[in-house]
Structure 1
Amino acid sequence: MAELMEELSQVKGEEPGVATSKDVRVHPTPEPTGHKPVDAPTGTPTVVVDDLHIVYRVFSATSDHEKGNAVTALVRMLKRQGRPQMKEVHAVKGVSFVAYHGDAIGIVGRNGSGKSTLLRAIAGLLPPHSGAVFTDGQPSLLGVNAALMRELTGERNIVLGCYAMGMTPAEVKEKYQEIVDFSGIDEFVQLPMSTYSSGMGARLRFAISSAKTHDVLLIDEALATGDREFRKKSQERIKQIRESAGTVFLVSHDHKVIEETCNRVIWLHKGKIKMDGDPKEVMTAYNKG
């Protein structure tokens, strides 16, 4: 235990940032004050979030006439006025936890609680204001690595999306029909993405992103747009990813999906972890709160 604590203190002494390392060791999960501790898993850690703070800086407007657009910016220049007052938004406040191989972690909370911000920080898309995120392998945020272009057909998006995830031409050819069948877009695969509904686009993103086994897969509300059949297939795919020693983070307002898919739930409230533990226990407390 002494060696683990010493190692954790060394991690905290490094520069804040997002690091990818194969040398991440097991760290004890920090126990927030007043939270019920999670039973320590025996697997290998894939994500270590250490006292993470994310701060946005936005320019606020005091009236509708001062809202940011080209006309108001030109008026301010002509009148030699300064820029609107800058405001800091503290989206994530001191979040710490450890995720392990085989975990499917649901993240719940009210709108504005920091759920999507936390996923983007784990994916390396947002730099920490302080604290750090360490990952074993490359995290993949659903819809980022497999970015879809509206002007291109579904077929071209599948090919380019798979290439963006590092798949070889042979792997793309092998997975192509499976992706089409899983997404359920059928003959629309030959049409531009601009003709797709939002649900079709979300299903295709999930089908592309989950066609490859990821070390860490981050899913933000992607399962909320499909019908019952698609949700069932998506849950089965997530279970397959877990069984292949991957880690899945799932943000969803569908509590049933969270309970049926995840083995652990983190409840965020105003940027802080309010509860971390068994899905049924956390969701019961969340619904009461």
Structure 2
Amino acid sequence: MAAEYKIKVENVTKEYELFKTQSEKMRSFFSLNNSNVPHFWSLMGISLTIMPGEAIGLIGVNGSGKSTLSNIISGIIPQTTGYVDVQGETSIVAINAGLRNNLTGRENIRLKSLMQGLTNEQIDELMPDIIAFADIGDFVDQPVKSYSSGMKSRLGFSIAVHIDPDILIIDEALSVGDDTFYQKCVDKINEFKQEGKTIVFVSHSLKQIELLCDRVAWINYGKLRAVGETKEVTSEYRKFIKWFRGLSKKEKTKFQKEQKNIQKNFSIQAYQKEVTEEHQKANPEDKNVASEVHKLFYGSVISEKMSLANKILTAAVLVALIFFCLVNVSGYSITSVLGDPSLILHPLQHLNVP
């Protein structure tokens, strides 16, 4: 039985560790003591359901977590906690998304299409249409690193819409480029809507949001502030922007600092406890609520840190590597060293050559 929704995210959070040095990053990966590294929660418990054939807009000020959420939905980055279920193939359109700077536009078309599961024969058939839609001329055979942001956006959008995804995610890709290309994109998006495809549209342009979206989710400094009909939510967002612009420079700085501190000091343990209590209230007879909520939070999460088993394996490999290096330097055979490990401390002055 097909799911009633196309995309579902529940209690999704995303934590970033603000490393200052590469050594701090390496210690964190190996799960060593790294308590002095500050943490920042880009998302703090987002729950959102998107229906098949729906075009939903994501709005919010810079740094609110819109792109983070779209990247989690598209599978580019993992969530820290929470449940994410995407029913179908996604294709994300963002400047530089999936493009390799040292490859030409034509090579990027083939690479990105292969990554989406297309065969070389299918790519050869689509190639002329993708190049024509992107309309970047002879630059298609030049390295992408020489492209302007508008050209990258054109190429990325053209690839994404021609590989026929179930879910199209557009992250600020229409903010660059000329009016002619913008209209081509709008026409293509409307064509996708008529075909019943699901669209997630991230933009600062409320006019674009109102033109293209059925519903809007307003993400405000990591939290879902409102979700509903487009006109209703954009109206509330405009009031917030008007209020913010009316603040003095000092008041704006104070407000932004307060919001960032909330994101820095967010406690996942406290949030999990809050969700557990809510579930327990709704299901007072259920004695397994705590374990069910824990599974909901961590059951589908891919850890970005090394597990205990991997740590043990890595340590074993390092010990073996050091051992073989010492045996090699000692001049003795492995058999001799295994029989008498103290030989490593007394290397031969001259190597025994057979």
Q: Are residue 182 (structure 1) and residue 133 (structure 2) matched?
A: yes
Tell me how far apart the structure 2 counterparts of residues 252 and 165 of structure 1 sit (CA, whole Å): 25
Partner residue, 1:137: 88
2:21 alignment partner, one of 63, 68, 79: 68
Tell me how far apart the structure 1 counterparts of residues 165 and 194 of structure 2 sit (CA, whole Å): 11
Partner residue, 2:114: 163
Q: Are residue 268 (structure 1) and residue 210 (structure 2) matched?
A: no
Give aligned pairs, total: 233
Deviations 1:161-185 (A, max 9, x none): 2222212223212221211121110
Deviations 1:197-230 (A, max 9, x none): 1110111011011112212222211111111111
SS where residue 199 of structure 2 aligns?
strand
Quote how far apart the aligned CAs of 1:269 are: 0.7
* Alpha-carbon distance change, 235 to 275 in structure 1, aligned in 2, over 3 angstroms: same
* Alpha-carbon distance change, 233 to 116 in structure 1, aligned in 2, over 3 angstroms: same
Tell me how far apart the structure 1 counterparts of residues 119 and 235 of structure 2 sit (CA, whole Å): 45
* Alpha-carbon distance change, 192 to 131 in structure 1, aligned in 2, over 3 angstroms: closer
Deviations 1:239-274 (A, max 9, x none): 222232321111111221111111111111111111
* Alpha-carbon distance change, 131 to 190 in structure 1, aligned in 2, over 3 angstroms: closer
Tell me how far apart the structure 2 counterparts of residues 242 and 168 of structure 1 sit (CA, whole Å): 26
Q: Contact between 1:150 and 1:193, CA under 8 Å: does it hold in 2?
A: yes
Report which of the two has the higher share of strand.
Answer: 1
Tell me how far apart the structure 2 counterparts of residues 244 and 85 of structure 1 sit (CA, whole Å): 51
Partner residue, 1:56: 16
Q: Are residue 242 (structure 1) and residue 193 (structure 2) matched?
A: yes
Tell me how far apart the structure 2 counterparts of residues 251 and 128 of structure 1 sit (CA, whole Å): 18
Tell me how far apart the structure 1 counterparts of residues 130 and 18 of structure 2 sit (CA, whole Å): 39
Q: Are residue 25 (structure 1) and residue 14 (structure 2) matched?
A: no
Q: Contact between 2:126 and 2:162, CA under 8 Å: does it hold in 1?
A: yes
Partner residue, 2:74: 123
Stretches of structure 1 lacking an aligned partner (at least 5 in a row): 1-22, 27-44, 60-66, 74-81
Partner residue, 2:159: 208
Report which of the two has the higher share of helix.
Answer: 2
Q: Percent of aligned positions with the same letter in both sequences?
A: 36
Q: Contact between 1:146 and 1:161, CA under 8 Å: does it hold in 2?
A: no
Partner residue, 1:106: 57
Q: Contact between 1:213 and 1:244, CA under 8 Å: does it hold in 2?
A: no
Q: Are residue 93 (structure 1) and residue 44 (structure 2) matched?
A: yes
SS where residue 210 of structure 1 aligns?
helix
Partner residue, 2:7: 47
Amino acid at match of 1:184: D
Amino acid at match of 1:269: N
SS where residue 57 of structure 2 aligns?
strand
Q: Contact between 2:60 and 2:66, CA under 8 Å: does it hold in 1?
A: yes
Mapping for residues 214-229 of structure 1, pairs under 5 Å: 214-229=165-180
Q: Contact between 1:52 and 1:95, CA under 8 Å: does it hold in 2?
A: yes
Partner residue, 1:33: none
Tell me how far apart the structure 2 counterparts of residues 145 and 287 of structure 1 sit (CA, whole Å): 30
Partner residue, 1:11: none
Tell me how far apart the structure 2 counterparts of residues 97 and 150 of structure 1 sit (CA, whole Å): 34
SS where residue 43 of structure 2 aligns?
strand
Tell me how far apart the structure 2 counterparts of residues 54 and 244 of structure 1 sit (CA, whole Å): 33
Tell me how far apart the structure 1 counterparts of residues 194 and 188 of structure 2 sit (CA, whole Å): 10
Between stretches 155-164 and 261-270, larger displacement belongs to: 155-164
Deviations 1:86-117 (A, max 9, x none): 11212112211211111111100011111011
Q: Contact between 1:143 and 1:209, CA under 8 Å: does it hold in 2?
A: no
